[in-house]
Amino acid sequence: MENNKFPDDFLWGTSTASYQIEGSPLADGATPSIWHKFSHIPGKIKNNENGDIACDYYNRYEEDIENLAKLKVKAYRFSISWPRVVPEPGKINQKGLDFYKRIVDKLLSRNIEPFITLFHWDTPLWLEEMGGFRERASVDHFLFYGETLFREFGDRVKHWISLNEPIVYAIQGYVIGDMAPGYKRNLKGMFHATHHLLLSHAKLNAILHKSVKDAQIGIAEAQIWTKPLRPNLKRDRNAADLMDNLINRLYIDPVTKGKYPEKLLAKTAKHLPKAFEEDLKEMGNTCDFIGINYYTSQSYRYSLFTPLIHAREVPTPGYKRSAMWEIYPDGLYNLLLRVKTDYGNLPCYITENGFPLKEVKGRDPLDDTERIEYLKEHIQRVLKAKNEGVDVRGYFLWSLMDNFEWEHGYDMRFGIIRVDFTTLERTWKKSAYWYRDLIKTGVLNL
């Protein structure tokens, strides 16, 4: 019989991100982030919504941590807002640090292990005005911020995530333009930002290990399982393979193997900063663990008319979809196995996985049975990979509560706890009770 029980030390958690939940973006000495600016430009966000209030976690974090304790999670992944802590170049804002200190203390008092993400996209606006991650100087600013956090929290926080989904920041922020900083078709920007973010990660790894004992640092990578639309056609297989390299390997290989994927270099080397090869020498082996954010798979077909990549995404016939993406739990299993076969079985965590639902009139907003089904299927694949020897150590559900879903505003809800965005009241959905019971027993009943 297949083992359907997770080991007792498996780290169950939930994830959130600063701009999506905190609100009060300019409180207590904080300066604006690029998301503050972007979300206030009319037409950028659905219904012109923004993160001014969000879940008001800035004032209600105690109640939210109580909910974490009631869910019995063992870990909580959250991000720190950089411009709260460093509101101007080289200046530390103690009040900003104090806010996160209160959170860390409260989590520890409830035996919940903090996993801190340093960068979940809310770049300080001052940094963007200096050229942002397109410029190499961003690395030094990132290190100053990172060192500050390691110094302040290193004695109590042992798990760090330098970057959240650098691919999404680079593609949507520099090429598609539907996310901050909002550039379009800026390939140089995309590759320079990618490189400087990954280089920052590598240097942060060295600093962390020099200054903090027994700590680990990794990246939360957006991973998509890519497939050829017509597997029998070589040109579709090539298209899917190129996209796999572009979406997945481009962001893992430099910080594990110390190289950019060969298949991409021919096309992209000219867009990378001049010194990239020199930098790669210090970038390899700098992930103590790999974080996998998994939601979906994508099918690709060859497309003559798509410049540069010659690949076009098409819906996979017959696949079920959520409100945002197609559903393919086996993709998560495949990607986990790949950590074992291609990346030396590095320890890994599912740092995000979750299901979007919109509220529909006439339907109980607390009944999210579809979400439970999605979660079960995906968690089952995690267990399968674990039983086959993949060193997967934890699972962080996205998300603890409904929040500001970037360009989709508040319409698209990922929470297992409902937030009424008028009263800010929190209410457990069916999935929260289900998750609590799973954590309690560690047994996955399908």
**Looking at the annotation, which residues are catalytic?**
165, 352
* Shortest spacing between CB 206 and ligand BGC, in angstroms: 25
DSSP string, 288-349: SEEEEEEEEEEEEEE-TTSTTT-EEEEPPTT--B-SSSB--HHHHHHHHHHHHHHSTT--EE
Q: Which stretch binds ligand BGC (CB under 6 A): 88-96, 162-170, 206-214, 236-244?
A: 162-170
Identity of residue 82: W
Least distance (Å) between residue 213 CB and ligand BGC: 29
Residue 299 preceded by cis peptide, ω within 30 = no
Q: Is 164 in the site for ligand BGC (CB under 6 A)?
A: yes
> Which stretch, 40-48, 92-100, 164-172, 336-344, contacts ligand BGC (CB under 6 A)?
164-172
**Smallest separation (angstroms) from ligand BGC to the CB of 406:** 6
CB of 99 to ligand BGC, least distance (A): 20
C-beta of 81 vs 164, nearer to ligand BGC: 164
81 lies in the binding site for ligand BGC (CB under 6 A): no
Task: Count other Cβ atoms within 10 Å, centred on residue 254.
Answer: 25
Among 56, 113, 279, 352, binds ligand BGC (CB under 6 A): 352
Between 325 and 433, whose beta carbon lies closer to ligand BGC?
325
Name residues contacting ligand BGC, limited to 13-32 (CB under 6 A). 17, 20
DSSP string spanning 29-92? G---BHHHHHHTSTTSSGGG--SSSTT-HHHHHHHHHHHHHHHT-SEEEEE--HHHH-SBTTB-
- Which residue is associated with the tokens 């920007």? 189
Is the Cβ of residue 77 or residue 386 nearer to ligand BGC in the bound state? Answer: 77
Residue closer to ligand BGC by CB (options 273, 394) is: 394
Nearer to ligand BGC, 118 or 212 (CB): 118
Which residues lie closer than 8 Å to 84 by C-beta, 6 or more apart?
18, 28, 29, 30, 93, 96, 99, 100
Determine the size of the site formed for ligand BGC (CB under 6 A).
11
Q: How far is CA 367 from the centre of its chain?
A: 26
CA 380 to the chain's CA centroid:
21
Could you say which of 22, 56, 113, 165 contacts ligand BGC (CB under 6 A)? 165
Closer to ligand BGC at the Cβ: 17 or 103? Answer: 17
Give the single-character DSSP code of 163.
E
CB of residue 55 to ligand BGC, shortest distance in Å = 13
- How many helices and strands (H and E) does the chain possess? 16, 11
Which one, 147 or 407, has the nearer CB to ligand BGC? Answer: 407
Site string (297-336) toward ligand BGC, x via CB under 6 A: ----------------------------------------
**Contacting residue, 398, 428, 434, 435, with ligand BGC by CB under 6 A:** 398
Query: Which residues lie below 8 Å from residue 156, measured CB to CB, with a gap of 6+?
Result: 104, 108, 114
CA 327/CA 342 separation, integer angstroms: 24
Contact between 268 and ligand BGC per CB under 6 A: no
Cα separation values, 408 from 37, 82, 278, 358, 411, Å: 16, 23, 40, 11, 6
Classified as helix, coil or strand, 225 is strand
Window 275-294: residues binding ligand BGC (CB under 6 A): 293
What mask of x and - would describe binding to ligand BGC in positions 212 to 251, judged by CB under 6 A? ----------x-----------------------------
Only segment of 108-116, 160-168, 182-190, 302-310 that touches ligand BGC (CB under 6 A) = 160-168
Residue matched to tokens 């804002």: 93
| Residues with Cβ within 8 Å of residue 401, at least 6 apart in sequence | 16, 21, 55, 64, 67, 415, 416, 417, 418, 419, 426
The correct pick among 405, 417, 435, 438 for binding ligand BGC (CB under 6 A) is 405
- Which stretches of the chain bind ligand BGC, using CB under 6 A? 17, 20, 164-165, 168, 222, 293, 352, 398, 405, 414
